[in-house]
Each structure stands twice: as C-alpha cells, then as structure tokens.
C-alpha cells in the first residue's frame, strides 16, 4: 500500500460532535427492510454504496437520497427479498456494501500503482 | 431498452438528438441466468488501468471496467475531500494598498501552498471547536503553518522622468510595485523546520499577482494556513480540475469511399478518422469530442453508429500544485476507504447499542415477572 497508516488519522476531517453516532435507523423498520440515515455523507458515498449494495443478490431494492441540500445527511433504503429475510438483515447488507467498497478501493489502488510505476519506467522517470 | 447484443451492452448510444442505453445493468437479477453478484476476484481480473501522461501537475489515465458510481466517487473526492493546506487567517498589521483588507485576505487564501508532501499529510486538523471554557483553541505547530508578508513600495533613486511622448515603465520607477505570491514567506515554528526536511512551505506558483502598490504603500500581515477540504472552501481543492469522460466509439456500418470519405473525415477532430486506401477508417476515437456533426449529414446518417463505452473512464487530473497529480488520485482512494471503515464502525456501534438496549428491556421484563411471582407466592 502506498498510502501508509501514519497518514490515515489526519485524512478525514474530525467529527463536529465527537462520539456522536453518524448512523440511525429511520422509523418504519421491518424485518426485511430499513432506511438508514447517515450524517455528513453525500452523493460521493451514497451512489457508490448504493451500487455495491445492489450487487448483493439478497437485496431486492436499494436507493439513496439527499432529503434536503442544506442538511448534510444521506438516507439509504435497503429491502431484502422475502426468501432471504431470515439470513440477511438490511443492516447486514449495509455492512457488506461497506466492506465490498473497501475491498474495491484496495484493488483500484494496487492496479493504479502498478500502472503508474510501469508507465514511469517506460518513460524513464 | 438494453440491447440483446452482448457487444452493445456496455455502449451508450449517441443519436442526433438523444442518448440511449445509459444506465448500468450489471446487477443480480437483471439478466435471466446471469450472475452479477459482486465478486472481488472477477473485478480484479477485469479492472484495467493505463497511463497516458504522468506529470506532477497533470496526469491522464484510463480506468476500465469500473462503475460510474465509483468512478464518480473518486472524482468528487479529488475535488472536494482530499485535504490540503491554505491560508485561513490573515492578521493584517498594515494595509495601505488600494486592495481592501477582506479582498486581499481572500486572494491570499487562494494561493496554493506547497511543502514536503508527507509532512503535510501527517499534520493535524486545526480544531475550530471552542474549548469547554468557551475559548477558541490556539494554533499548534502540528496544525498551523505561519507565513508573513511584508512589502513596502518605494521610489527608485534616479528614476527616469516622464516625457511628453512616453511614460516610464513602473519597473523603472518603483521598487516592489507588484506583490506576488513569492513574497509570502514562511516562518518556522517549533520543530517544523526539521519536520519539513528541506522542503519548507511556499507558494506553489511564485508569480501569482496579489496586489499592486505605489510609493508609500505597505502591506504587512501574518498569515495562518490550516488543513481543510474543498467542500468547505474551493481554496482547499488540490485539483483544477479532476474530470473524466467516457471513451467514444465510432462504428462505420457501411464502407465510405473516395470523396465521401474525405467529407466524413472532416466531421471529426483531426486524427480521429483517416482515409486509408481510399476508405474512411477510424484511427483514434479517443480524440473525438462527440460533436455528432456526422449525424447532421444525410449521406452518413445511416452509415455510422456513435457511442461511448459506459465503463471506460478517461481521467484527467490537473493538480493545483500542492500534491503530485497521481498522488491526488491515490489519496482519493484512501479517503473513500477510510469513509467505509469509519462508517462500518459506526454501524457496528449502533448495533451494539441496540443490543444493549434490548437486553436492558428484557431484563426489566424479567424483573417484573419475578415481582409478579412474588405477589402470587404471598
């Protein structure tokens, strides 16, 4: 990894209210469906996460929205196929989506560094 | 309507007035009998990244077989969420120039600050949050870079006199009549000199004009630069800009020959189409601007099919100077990964709190049952 752990602590801005939970389950939760509200996230994570969660075969529906542009919250809705309700809760799909997105980042980084290094070598840099 | 033809599946159709087949369809359950479940090994096998240019201030590379949502996340993070240092506070000691204090402060803020890149990444965020006693936390050597700017404009001795026909150039008349970004000087605090290790903070472009002065005018200020992100203020954005476009495709459906071939070639930017052996051939679709000019010509309308490859992203990242352009992309990956990790821990904490709450409630119910029993015993 080219981006060492020593930098990670200072990569994301500190949370405004320290220790506050940034994820909530919105009212109307059922065994196979739930909407989550995430603070301080926008389309950047919203759309990428929605894509990763939709790649989960247990997920019937996933969508995200920014309810109002002046509030920095992002809502994400997950519905599980009734036949998978027993084994997958919506929150499991959410966590799997986050894990998968993180794995994707690792792969992109690895390939990016390899492509850059071989290009630099070709160019004699 | 998604095309049944596999080769057309990831092509966005470009027509004279419309586009078609725009959204991704690689989801489980979309195509009968096909598995589009997320598979890291498959993703790793298919993902292709190729560089075309890698200069400190400009990188161009292709990322192929990635979804638009993820490609867009990297682009948005590069512009708005990769942290850099910029001047945030200006303590004006003297400003007798014609530029007002607030306008000069704003201009100073926009100057990209460059220094040892590792040290900048390691430095901390300046906390604006008031302390418990209501006071504002003071800057530390870990989170603030201090600069000064002190410029005095004076008349040059023995300056030429203006004549009836010509006015001398200000360069010949005055000293320091223009204030540039290079006049911003770094003042090391604490162990900063050591930590910047021979590459102290300075303006990335020395020749940014900040103000103009005339003899007797003075600009003197102390400047504090802190870490920030582009979504807070554009001055923190490390790119100018980061963008991508989809690879254009031009498919010639029927041979186009002789004079028509020359006319066909003229519908595209130079280098995209060449006439080889008296026949039009697409040589380099990358350079096409997808102007759709060819579709305005009746003779070519049915002989060509324009499109864009939906999962072929041609990135162009221009750094504004703080970081190398390829490093900005790497940082955007790190930011996205950190977001996932942080959010995952929040979700886990939420589940844990819910669990504890449920246990407490169940405990209360059990206690209540015990009380009931005791009542019965009595």
User: Residues B103, B241, A4, CA angle at the centre, nearest 5°?
Assistant: 105
Nearest to B38 among A21, A55, A108 (CB): A55
- Whether residue B28 and residue A57 make contact (CB cut-off 8 A), yes or no, is yes
Neighbours of B253 (CB within 10 A): 10
**Strands of B29-106, DSSP E:** 48-55, 58-64, 84-95
Model pTM?
A: 0.91
Q: For position B115, what pLDDT does the model report?
A: 94
According to CATH, what is the number of the domain B84-237?
A: 2.170.120.12
For A57: left if phi > 0, alpha if psi spans -120 to 50, otherwise beta; the answer is alpha
Residue with tokens 């801005």: A13
pLDDT digits (tens, 9 = 90+) for B214-249: 999 999 999 999 999 999 999 999 999 899 999 999
Number of domains forming the structure of chain A? 1
* pLDDT at residue A124 tops 90: no
Nearest to A22 among B44, B329, B343 (CB): B343
| A74 Cα to chain B: minimum distance (Å) | 12
- Whether residue B333 and residue A108 make contact (CB cut-off 8 A), yes or no, is yes
| Cα–Cα distance, B272 to B289 (Å, whole number) | 10
Q: What's A72's domain CATH number? A: 3.30.1360.10
- Whether residue B333 and residue A112 make contact (CB cut-off 8 A), yes or no, is yes
> Which residues on B lie below 8 Å from A11 (Cβ)?
83, 121, 331, 334-335, 338
ipTM over 0.90: yes
B1 pLDDT band (50/70/90 cuts)? very low
High-pLDDT (> 90) share of chain A, % = 82
Nearest to B344 among A3, A57, A99 (CB): A99
Whether chain A has a CB inside 8 Å of the CB on B310: the answer is no
| A21 Cα to chain B: minimum distance (Å) | 6
Domain with CATH 3.30.1360.10 in chain B: 3-80+240-319
- A-interface mutation test, from B63, B73, B142, most A Cβ less than 10 A away: B73
Higher-scoring residue by pLDDT: B278, B375? B278
CATH superfamily for domain B3-80+240-319: RNA polymerase, RBP11-like subunit (3.30.1360.10)
Sorted by sequence, the CB contacts under 8 Å of residue B231 that are 6+ apart come out as B80, B81
Task: Report B:147-206 residues touching A (Cβ under 8 A).
Answer: none
Whether chain B has a CB inside 8 Å of the CB on A68: the answer is no
> Which residues on A lie below 8 Å from B334 (Cβ)?
3, 7-8, 11, 105, 109
> Which residues on B lie below 8 Å from A99 (Cβ)?
340, 344
B8 pLDDT band (50/70/90 cuts)? confident
Using CA atoms, how far residue B61 sits from B244, B262, B271, B326, B333, in Å, is 9, 31, 20, 9, 15
Average pLDDT over residues B32-40: 93
- Whether residue A56 and residue B77 make contact (CB cut-off 8 A), yes or no, is no
Whether chain B has a CB inside 8 Å of the CB on A26: the answer is no
Residue B211 and residue B106 in contact, taking contact as beta carbons nearer than 8 Å: no
* pLDDT at residue A4 tops 80: no
- B-interface mutation test, from A1, A74, A98, A122, most B Cβ less than 10 A away: A98
Task: Report A:73-102 residues touching B (Cβ under 8 A).
Answer: 91, 94-95, 98-102
| Cα–Cα distance, B280 to B304 (Å, whole number) | 11
Task: Return phi, psi of residue B301, to 5°.
Answer: -45, -45
Task: Report B:260-289 residues touching A (Cβ under 8 A).
Answer: none
Nearest to B344 among A51, A98, A106 (CB): A98
B281 CB-contact burial (10 Å; exposed 0-12 / middle 13-18 / buried 19+): middle
A108 pLDDT band (50/70/90 cuts)? very high
Q: For position B377, what pLDDT does the model report?
A: 54
> Which residues on B lie below 8 Å from A101 (Cβ)?
70, 336, 340
Residue B125 and residue B143 in contact, taking contact as beta carbons nearer than 8 Å: yes
Residue A69 and residue A43 in contact, taking contact as beta carbons nearer than 8 Å: no
* pLDDT at residue B167 tops 50: yes
Sorted by sequence, the CB contacts under 8 Å of residue B281 that are 6+ apart come out as B252, B273, B274, B275
Question: For chain A, what is the radius of gyration of the CA atoms?
Answer: 18
pLDDT digits (tens, 9 = 90+) for B81-133: 999 999 999 999 999 999 999 999 999 999 999 999 999 999 999 887 778 88
| Cα–Cα distance, A78 to A50 (Å, whole number) | 9
Higher-scoring residue by pLDDT: B357, A8? B357
- Whether residue A54 and residue B27 make contact (CB cut-off 8 A), yes or no, is yes
Nearest to A112 among B49, B81, B121 (CB): B49
Average pLDDT over residues B40-45: 96
| B63 Cα to chain A: minimum distance (Å) | 9
- Collapsing DSSP states into helix, strand and coil, what is residue B95? strand
Q: Please spell the DSSP secondary structure of B297-351, one letter per residue.
A: STTTTTTEEEEEEEEEEEEEEEE-SSS-HHHHHHHHHHHHHHHHHHHHHHHHHHH
Q: Which domain holds residue A114?
A: 5-123
A116 pLDDT band (50/70/90 cuts)? very high
| A97 Cα to chain B: minimum distance (Å) | 9
């Amino acid at each position: 990894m080219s981006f060492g752990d020593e930098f990670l602590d200072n990569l994301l801005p500190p949370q405004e209210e320290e220790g506050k939970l940034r994820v909530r389950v919105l009212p109307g939760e059922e065994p196979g469906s739930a909407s989550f509200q995430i603070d301080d996230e926008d389309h950047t994570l919203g759309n990428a996460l929605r894509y990763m969660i939709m790649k989960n075969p247990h997920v019937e529906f996933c969508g995200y929205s920014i309810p109002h542009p002046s509030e920095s919250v992002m809502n994400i809705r997950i519905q599980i196929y009734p036949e998978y309700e027993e084994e997958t809760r919506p929150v499991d799909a959410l966590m799997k989506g986050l894990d998968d997105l993180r794995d994707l980042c690792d792969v992109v980084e690895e390939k990016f560094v390899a492509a850059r290094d071989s290009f630099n070598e070709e160019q004699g840099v | 309507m998604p095309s049944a033809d596999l080769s057309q599946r990831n092509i966005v159709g470009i027509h004279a007035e419309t586009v078609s087949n725009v959204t991704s369809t690689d989801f489980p359950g979309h195509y009968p009998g096909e598995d589009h479940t997320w598979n890291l090994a498959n993703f790793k096998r298919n993902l292709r990244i190729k560089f075309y240019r890698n200069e400190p201030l400009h990188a161009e590379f292709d990322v192929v077989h990635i979804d638009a949502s993820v490609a867009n996340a990297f682009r948005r993070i590069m512009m708005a969420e990769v942290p850099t240092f910029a001047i945030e506070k200006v303590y004006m000691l003297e400003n007798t120039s014609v530029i007002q204090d607030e306008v000069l402060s704003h201009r100073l803020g926009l100057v990209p600050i460059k220094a040892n890149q590792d040290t900048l990444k390691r430095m901390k965020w300046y906390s604006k949050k008031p302390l418990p006693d209501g006071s504002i936390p003071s800057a530390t050597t870990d989170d603030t870079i201090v600069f000064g700017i002190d410029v005095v404009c004076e008349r040059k001795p023995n300056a030429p006199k203006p004549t009836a026909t010509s006015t001398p150039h200000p360069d010949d008349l005055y000293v320091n009549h223009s204030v540039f970004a290079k006049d911003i000087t770094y003042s090391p605090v604490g162990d900063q000199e050591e930590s910047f290790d021979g590459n102290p903070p300075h303006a990335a472009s020395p020749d940014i004009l900040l103000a103009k002065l005339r003899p007797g005018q003075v600009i003197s200020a102390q400047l504090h630069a802190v870490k920030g992100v582009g979504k807070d203020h554009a001055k923190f954005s490390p790119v100018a800009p980061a963008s991508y476009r989809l690879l254009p495709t031009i498919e010639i459906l029927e041979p186009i020959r002789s004079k028509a071939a020359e006319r066909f070639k003229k519908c595209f930017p130079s280098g995209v189409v060449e006439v080889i052996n008296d026949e039009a051939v697409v040589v380099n679709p990358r350079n096409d601007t997808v102007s759709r000019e060819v579709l305005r010509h009746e003779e070519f309308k049915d002989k060509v099919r324009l499109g864009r490859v939906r999962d072929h992203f041609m990135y162009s990242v221009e750094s504004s100077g703080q970081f190398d352009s390829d490093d900005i992309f790497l940082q955007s990956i790190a930011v996205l990964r950190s977001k996932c990790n942080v959010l995952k821990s929040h979700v886990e904490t939420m589940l844990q709190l819910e669990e504890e709450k449920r246990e407490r409630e169940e405990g209360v119910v059990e206690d209540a049952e015990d009380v009931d029993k005791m009542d019965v015993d009595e």
